[in-house]
Structure 1
Amino acid sequence: MAGLFAFNRAKGLRLGGARLHSLPVYHAIHAAIWAAAPALLFLMIWAPVQNGLVDQAVLASPAGQSLPDFEMQRDAIISEAREIALGLREAGFNPESTTLAPVYASAMSRYAMAGGAAALVLALVGAFFGLRRQGVQFRARTSVEKWVMGLLLGASLIAILTTLGIVLSLLFESLMFFSKVNVGEFLFGTTWSPQTAIRADQAGSSGAFGSVPLFWGTIFIGAIIAMIVAIPLGLMSAIFLTQYAPQKLRAWLKPMLEILAGVPTVVYGYFAALTVAPMIRDFGISIGVSSASSESALAAGLVMGIMIIPFVSSMADDSIAAVPQAMRDGSLALGATKSETIRKVILPAALPGVVGGVLLAVSRAIGETMIVVMAAGLAANLTINPFESVTTVTTQIVQLLTGDQEFDSAKTLAAFALGLLLFVITLILNLIALRVVRKYREAYE
C-alpha cells in the first residue's frame, strides 16, 4: 500500500504538478483508498462466512461424520478442535477433538488462503480503477473528501444506531414481560417479589412486580442523599478553586479532587460497607432509631455522593472559568463585593455548565450498582427512613440476570422492563436539563 501511494504521488507529479486540479498527494490517497476499501470490506464479510464454511468442511470430512449425533456434544468437540488448531490449548477433554484438530487446521488454512487471494484480486482491481481515473482535470481532492465525509458520517451513526438497538432490544423484551404482567401493577405496585414458584399451588406463584420501591430506592439514594452531599461540596469546591485559591494551591488541589473519579466503585463499596455503614448504624441507635440497619440508604448515599463530587466540581469549575472577565469587572466596578459577584453574576452565567455537571452526576449515581449492593442491601422497602435497607433498579437488574436464567419467564423479563423504564426516566431528566440550559444560555449570551 505504501508503494502504491508513492507510485501514484510520483505519477501525479509527472502529470504536471501545479497544473493538476488537485495536489499529487490527493491522487495518491484516492488510488490507495480504491485499493484498500473493497479488500477490507470483503474481508469483513468473509470472516463470519469463512467460519461457517470451515465448520461445514469439518463436518463433511470422515472424522467429522463419525462425531456423536447429540448436537451439544458435537459442538463441544468442534469447539475444542478449533482451539487446538489455533494453538490455544494442547489437547481437549474429548479424544475426538485431538483427531479433528488437523482437519480443522487444514480447512482454516484453505479458506483463509482463498479469502486472502480474493481480497488481493479486489485490491488490484481497485488500484487499477484508481489509476485509470487519474488525469490533469480529475478532481481527486473532491473524491477523497467524499470518502472522508462518508467515514465521519458512519462514525457519527454508530452512537445513534447503538442507542436505537438498545431501545429496540429493551422494548421487545419488555413487551413480552407486559404480556405476562399487568402494566398498571408494574408501574404503580408497591410490592416487589419476583420469586415466581415452580408449581401453581405454591405461595407467591404469580410473583409481585411492583416497581415503585425500586425506583424510590434509586431516587432516595442517587438523586436525594447523594446529591445533598455532592452538589454543595462540588459547587463550593469549584468556587474556591476558581475564585479564591492561589494558582499553586489550585494546581495541587484540582488533581487530588479528580482522583476520586478514578477510584474503582468496588473500593467505595468496601469503604461504605466496612466503615461508613457501621458508623451510621451506631449513630442511629444512639439517637433512638431502633430500625437502624447495618445496610442503609444513608450509608450508600453518603459514599455515592463523595464518589460523584468530581463530576459536579469539574463541570462547574470549567463553566465558572469560562465566564467573561468583563462581567466580573463590571459587577465589581458597580460596587458589588466578591461574594455578591459570585452569587449574582458568575453562578447564573455559569448555570448551564453547572446543570450539565449535576445531570452527569445524577446519571452516574442512578447507574451505580456496587455501592448499593454492598452498603444498602437488596431489600425492596418503600420507606423514607434513611437508616433502613433499600435497593435500586440497577441492583435488581443484576440480581435478575445473574446465573442461568430462562428468558421466557416474567422474573427474568422484568429486568428489561426495569431497564426500559429507567431509560425513559433518564431521557426525561435530560430533556428538562436541556430546557434549563437553553433558557439561561439565551439570557446570558
Structure 2
Amino acid sequence: MPVLWLVLIVAVISAAGYVIGRTRAVQSAGGSLRKLHSLPSFYGANTAMKAAVPALLAMLVWLVAQPLYINSAVTTLIPDGEIADGSSRGLVMAEVRRTARGLDNAVAGGFITEEMASSGRAEFSDMTRRLKEAGQVVTGNITQTVLTAAQAYRSKAATGQMMMSVVVIALALAGAFWGLRDAHADFRARNTVERGIKAVLIAAASIAILTTIGIILSLIFNTIEFFRLYPASEFFTSLEWAPSFSGRGGASSLGVLPLLWGTLYISLVALLVAVPIGLFSAVYLSEYASSRVRSIAKPLLEVLAGIPTIVYGLFALLTVGPLLLAVFGDSTGLGWMQGQRAVMTAGLVMGVMLIPFVSSLSDDIINAVPQTMRDGSYGLGATKSETIKQVILPAALPGIVGAILLAASRAIGETMIVVMGAGAAARLSLNPFEAMTTVTAKIVSQLTGDSDFASPEALVAFALGMTLFVLTLGLNVLALYIVRKYREQYE
C-alpha cells in the first residue's frame, strides 16, 4: 500500500476517534459538562492522538529500518568475485537498487510481467533486452548476479511494504480503542493531551538537529566510499583538476586545491564589494537617514536579498561581463581580460548580492548600541562623525565582524553566479580577469547527467561537499565565537 494512502487511513481513524471519544466522554457524564474533568475536545484529542502518534511513529521507524535490513539481506547474494576492481560492494548495491527501480518501471510500462520481475526463472538476455526497450538500463553494469539481487530486493521491499501497512493500521485501531476506553468523566484528558503536545513541540525543535546529522552522515559515508577508490593524499595535495570519465577514473586527477583557490578568490572579491558598501549603508541608515528615508531605503535595499541567484547569474553574463571586457579587453589596448567570464565578473555581482546581508545585520547591531553612549559622546564635545568612528563602531565591531563572516559563508556556497559568471576553468592564478571555478560549480557538473556513483568522478562530489561543509562550518563557528566573546551587554 502506498505511504500516502496509509497516512490517509490513519488520519481517518484518528478523526473518527476524535468524534467518538468526544461523544463518549459527554455521555459518560450524563450530558453534564460540569462533571467532566476536562473539556470534551480534550477527550476527543486524546483518542485521536493515541490513534495517530504510535502508528505514524511506527511507520517512520519502519521506513528508515526497512532499507537497511533489505540491504544487509541482499548484499549476501553478491559474491566477492562479482565486485570488479575499482568498485566496491556499496557501489554494486547502488546498481542493484537502480535495477530494482527499473524493474518496477518496466512492469508499470507493460514491458515485463510481474512474474518475470519477481522470479529468477526468466532468461537474463531476455530480461536485459526488455529493460533496454523500456529505457531502464542506464549503464552497462547489469550482470546476472545484479539482476537476481534486484529481483530479491524488489520482492523483499514489497513484502516489507505489506507488513508495514498491516502493522500501522493495527496500531492505529488499537490506539483508537485505547483512547475510547479512557473517554470517561474521571480521566484527566487535558493533562495527557498537554504532555503529548509538549512532546510534539520537542520533536519539532529536534528536526533541525536531526536534519543536520542526516546531512553530515550522508556526506561522510559517500566521502569514505570515494576515498576507498581515490587516494586522499592526492585529493588534498594535487594542483590539477582533470576528471576523465573513461576507464573508471584511471586517468583522472582530482585535486581540490584549484577549486578551493577559486572559491576563496571569488568570495574575497565579493566581500571587497559587499563589506564597504553594506557597512556604509548601515551607518547612513542608522545614524544619518531620517525615519521617512529609512522606511523607504531599507526595504528597497533588502529587495536585493530576494532576487533569485539565477537572475544575478544572467546579469553577470549579459551585462557585467561584456562591460568589463569592453574596459579591460583588447579593444582598449589593455588586454587583461580575454573573455566575459572571469573572477571579477562573478565577484562583483556576488558582492551586490551580499550587500543586504552585511547592511541589514550591521544596521541592527548599530541600532542596538544604547543612545546614552551617543549622548555621552556629544556631551564631551565630539561631533557626529567622531562619535560614529570612536564610540559606535568600536562598540558594534564584534557583531559587524560576525555579520561579515556569515556573508562570507554565503559567498562560499554560491553556485549559479559562479557557473554563469566565472566559467568552469580550474586553475591557480592571481589574475582576477581570468576564468576560474569553485567547489560548488564542480559539484553540480560532476553530478549532472546519468551518474551511476560507480566511479571516483561521481563520488568526488561528496568529498567536495564535505570539504565545503567543513569550511563554512568553521566560518560560522568563528563568527559565533567572536560575537559571544567580544560583544558588550547593555541595559
* Distance in 2, Cα, partners of 1:293 & 1:120: 64
1:247 aligns with 2:309: no
Aligned residue-pair number: 400
* Distance in 2, Cα, partners of 1:307 & 1:237: 14
Secondary structure of residue in 1 paired with 2:487: helix
- More deviation, 38-47/319-328: 38-47
1:171 aligns with 2:187: no
1:331 aligns with 2:347: no
Q: 1:390 to 1:78 in 2, by over 3 A?
A: closer
Counterpart of 2:279, as a letter, is L
* Distance in 2, Cα, partners of 1:121 & 1:22: 24
Measured against aligned partners, the alpha-carbon deviations of 1:260-282 in whole angstroms (never above 9, x if no partner) come to 11111111111101111122122
* Distance in 2, Cα, partners of 1:255 & 1:425: 31
Question: Are the counterparts in 2 of residues 22 and 139 from structure 1 also a CA contact under 8 Å?
Answer: yes
Pairing 1:134-153 to 2, within 5 Å after superposition: 135=186, 139-153=188-202
Counterpart of 1:305, as a letter, is G
The TM-score, its normalising length taken from structure 1, stands at 0.77
Question: Are the counterparts in 1 of residues 47 and 176 from structure 2 also a CA contact under 8 Å?
Answer: no
- Stretches of structure 1 that go unaligned for 5 or more consecutive residues are 81-109
Q: 1:122 to 1:414 in 2, by over 3 A?
A: same
Q: 1:41 to 1:413 in 2, by over 3 A?
A: closer
Give 1:264's aligned residue: 308
Secondary structure of residue in 2 paired with 1:146: helix
- Stretches of structure 2 that go unaligned for 5 or more consecutive residues are 1-14, 67-99, 137-161
Counterpart of 2:273, as a letter, is V
- The one of 50, 58, 69 equivalent to 1:34 is 50
Secondary structure of residue in 1 paired with 2:389: helix
**In the TM superposition, what is the alpha-carbon distance from 1:179 to its structure 2 partner?**
2.4
The TM-score, its normalising length taken from structure 2, stands at 0.70
* Distance in 2, Cα, partners of 1:322 & 1:13: 57
**In the TM superposition, what is the alpha-carbon distance from 1:408 to its structure 2 partner?**
2.3
Give 1:439's aligned residue: 485
- The one of 252, 259, 263 equivalent to 1:214 is 259
- The one of 332, 337, 347 equivalent to 2:393 is 347
Measured against aligned partners, the alpha-carbon deviations of 1:203-243 in whole angstroms (never above 9, x if no partner) come to x9432121111011001112x10001111111111221122
Pairing 1:54-69 to 2, within 5 Å after superposition: 64-65=114-115
**In the TM superposition, what is the alpha-carbon distance from 1:174 to its structure 2 partner?**
1.5
1:282 aligns with 2:326: yes
Q: 1:117 to 1:240 in 2, by over 3 A?
A: same
Counterpart of 1:283, as a letter, is V
* Distance in 2, Cα, partners of 1:341 & 1:8: 71
Q: 1:116 to 1:76 in 2, by over 3 A?
A: farther
Question: Are the counterparts in 1 of residues 25 and 183 from structure 2 also a CA contact under 8 Å?
Answer: no
Superposition RMSD on alpha carbons, in Å?
A: 3.8
- More deviation, 171-180/22-31: 22-31
* Distance in 2, Cα, partners of 1:275 & 1:206: 38
- The one of 324, 332, 348 equivalent to 1:302 is 348
- The one of 208, 225, 245 equivalent to 1:159 is 208
- More deviation, 271-280/111-120: 111-120
- The one of 239, 262, 271 equivalent to 1:227 is 271
Question: Are the counterparts in 1 of residues 398 and 487 from structure 2 also a CA contact under 8 Å?
Answer: yes
Give 2:151's aligned residue: none
Question: Are the counterparts in 2 of residues 40 and 119 from structure 1 also a CA contact under 8 Å?
Answer: no
Question: Are the counterparts in 2 of residues 198 and 205 from structure 1 also a CA contact under 8 Å?
Answer: yes
Question: Are the counterparts in 1 of residues 55 and 169 from structure 2 also a CA contact under 8 Å?
Answer: no
Alignment identity in percent? Answer: 47
1:238 aligns with 2:295: no
Secondary structure of residue in 2 paired with 1:308: helix
* Distance in 2, Cα, partners of 1:78 & 1:130: 55
